[in-house]
A and B are shown apart, each in its own frame.
Chain A
Amino acid sequence: MSIQLLERELERLESLWEDGLSDAYRSYLDAVAAYEPEAQPRLALAAALIEIGLRLQGLGGRAAAAPSLLMGDLCLARSSRLLAGDAPQSVQIAFARAIETLSAAAASGSSAPPPRTRELLLRAFEAR
């Protein structure tokens, strides 16, 4: 899948592409194979942006410094727009629930092992 297709969607986030976003993106491509072909790259990117965004913010670990937190916020917001445009309602809801699960676990400060972000997001694609 070419990055050119996603040019607009990567605006202001270009530096993240080489810094883990492209790898995360590729890891979601199989999960979106059953979706409309034109929606697949944007949906895979949406999931990758959530994964990278939460990592940038330091969710579940030490809180990131302001610039990194804000970049993480932009990743989540961009993902939200991509899902609003291309994902069925059930998948939008499943993605939101995945973030709710991850952030509630982080807020609880529990010693239980935290949920795995990628597993939750891959499962969200199955809500279709």
Chain B
Amino acid sequence: MIGKRLRFETTQPTEFVDITDRLREEVRRSGMRMGRLHLQSLHTTLGLAVNENEPLLLRDFQGLLERIAPEGAGYEHDDFTRRLDVATNEPVNGHAHCRQLLLTGFATLLVEDGDLVLGQWQSVFAVELDGPRQRQLALQLDGEFEEAPDRHRKEESATLVELELSRQLQVDPEAVAVPMRRLVEAGGKRVRPKLVQLTAGLGPRSEPLRAAALAAAVELLHNATLIHDDYVDESTHRRGQPTVAAMEGPERAVAVGDYYFAKATRLIAEIGNRDVTTTIAEALEAICASQIDDVALRGAFPGDHDSYLRVVRGKTAALFAAACASGALLSEAGPEVVEALRRYGDLVGVAFQMADDMVDFSPDSGKPVGLDIRQRVLSLPLIYASEDRTVGPEVRRLLAGSLGDTEVGRVADLVVSSNALDRVREEAQALVESAVHELEAIELDGLRPILISLARSAVDRTA
């Protein structure tokens, strides 16, 4: 049995916070294969619900709650003259308590094969009824857990990175730390730090604390780039939380991104290995150059396969490759190991991005379908669908015009009806096999199965 707290911040008086991804991540991290995840709200004005994450439907739910328990409808709870021990900051929130009575304060979700059992349209919501506030849910995971020795090693490494991230974010000025904490604590797959830590165990100088410091810095750097990306893409949410640009404004987003870019490069410089510093700096440069190309290519949306690969190699794969190479360099592994891992990281990074593109068409992802289409983000399934003999002409025509809900939905349907997703899946799987092949010629001290499993899990996912 594992007990945890899930903390988050709400931004609206009434808000449906989709916590599905975070719960999935908790299950994955726990290693539970089969069992139950128990959830309990620790507040009297925060409910729980399992329903469909469709924005108009969420407005319907909000309307329903407002009709049944309208604000200011003469609740006795709000008559402070008749209550005892009323705090000075007691809110007028009788309506919120009454609305909570209509929801539930606890839920049990089933877990099978290491994942939540949810129907195609089901998402899990924490329902804020008296926000904005800091909130927490109690979680208990109860069932059968993986017991492989590798899992304990992975768990210890992951804990070190989380501790290091937490430590670094505690010492920063609040103006930058608060938004970054929100982003970091909202989850994320932590693939890059995992790659650093795994590869940092390969050479003769294996030091877990130095590896965790590098891994945390790489994760901060990744998140810094996301903050600027979200501003550029005009994204309002990431990992179920408002983006820095949406919540604190673009000026703060620029500053927070810069701060953590600088802090991450400083933390890496402080490790004192020039090869590592250079490897990460080169990757960062590739990311930034590709971002410029990515935006430029939106004029020729959806682009072509070659342009896609060029952008993705920089935008995503460069940091995967650098994470692998820098971990190995830190442990003073031989050059043939470093270079093989760099190639492995590059291939896995491209495959990871392809899988990410496919998630945009998955109704099970917990994110709105077609976000990439709406934001005109480079996407391989779209490129393949636009080249398809049957659906291609209509896809190209729709993408050339303005993209409202109807057009986005139609394009998504066309992509799903074509063989574009199958082609992308096959291509991603082939890249993973090439990545695995890169590992064959080098000595990996028992890490080969973990790296293979990590590569395969990069594409076998729906979120």
Contacts and interface: CB of A to CB of B under 8 A. Distances in A.
Nearest to A50: B262
Contact of B289 (A74, A76, A100): A74
Contacts, number: 126
B228 A69 contact: yes
B284 interface: yes
Q: Is the interface of A mostly helix, strand, loop or mixed?
A: helix
Q: Is the interface of B mostly helix, strand, loop or mixed?
A: helix
Given A77-B281, A107-B175, A107-B176, A63 B250 contact: yes
A58 B245 CA distance: 14
Interface string B255-287: 111110111011001101010011011101101
Contacts of A109: 175
B288 A70 contact: yes
A73 B288 contact: yes
A24 B284 CA distance: 23
Contacts of B206: none
Nearest to A66: B232
B291 interface: yes
A62 B311 CA distance: 28
A103 B278 contact: no
Nearest to A82: B281
Interface of B: 172-173, 175-176, 228, 231-232, 249-259, 261-263, 265-266, 269-270, 272, 274, 277-278, 280-282, 284-285, 287-289, 291-292, 295
Q: List the 9 shortest-distance A-B pairs measured between CB atoms, nearest first.
A: A96-B266, A99-B262, A63-B250, A107-B255, A103-B258, A107-B175, A103-B259, A81-B281, A106-B255
20 contacts: A12-B289, A59-B255, A63-B249, A63-B254, A76-B261, A77-B281, A77-B284, A81-B278, A81-B284, A84-B269, A92-B269, A93-B270, A96-B263, A96-B265, A97-B262, A103-B262, A106-B255, A106-B258, A108-B173, A108-B175
Contacts of B278: 81, 84-85
Interface string A75-98: 011101101110001001100111
Contact of B254 (A57, A84, A92, A96): A57
A63 B173 contact: no
Contacts of B258: 54, 57, 59, 76, 99, 102-103, 106
A74 B253 CA distance: 16
Contact of B173 (A61, A76, A84, A107): A107
B176 A80 contact: no
B266 A93 contact: yes
A97 B254 CA distance: 17
A113 interface: no
A37 interface: no
Given A100-B266, A106-B255, 17 more contacts: A12-B289, A12-B292, A57-B258, A58-B254, A59-B258, A63-B253, A69-B232, A84-B281, A89-B272, A92-B265, A92-B269, A100-B262, A100-B263, A104-B175, A106-B251, A107-B175, A107-B259
B175 A97 contact: no
A125 B221 CA distance: 24
Given A66-B295, A69-B232, A71-B292, A93 B269 contact: yes
B228 A84 contact: no
A77 B175 contact: no
Contacts of B172: 104
A103 B265 contact: no
A92 to B, nearest CB: 4
B67 to A, nearest CB: 40
Contact of A77 (B253, B254, B285): B285
A103 B257 CA distance: 9
Contacts of A54: 258
A59 B254 contact: yes
Contacts of A100: 259, 262-263, 266
Nearest to A60: B255
A104 B258 CA distance: 9
Contacts of A83: 281
Nearest to A102: B258
B285 A104 contact: no
A108 B231 CA distance: 19
A57 B261 CA distance: 14
A15 B172 CA distance: 36
Contacts of A96: 262-263, 265-266, 269
Nearest to A105: B255
Nearest to B173: A104
A57 B289 CA distance: 15
Contact of B176 (A58, A67, A70, A104): A104
A54 B259 CA distance: 11
A33 interface: no
A5 interface: no
B316 to A, nearest CB: 16
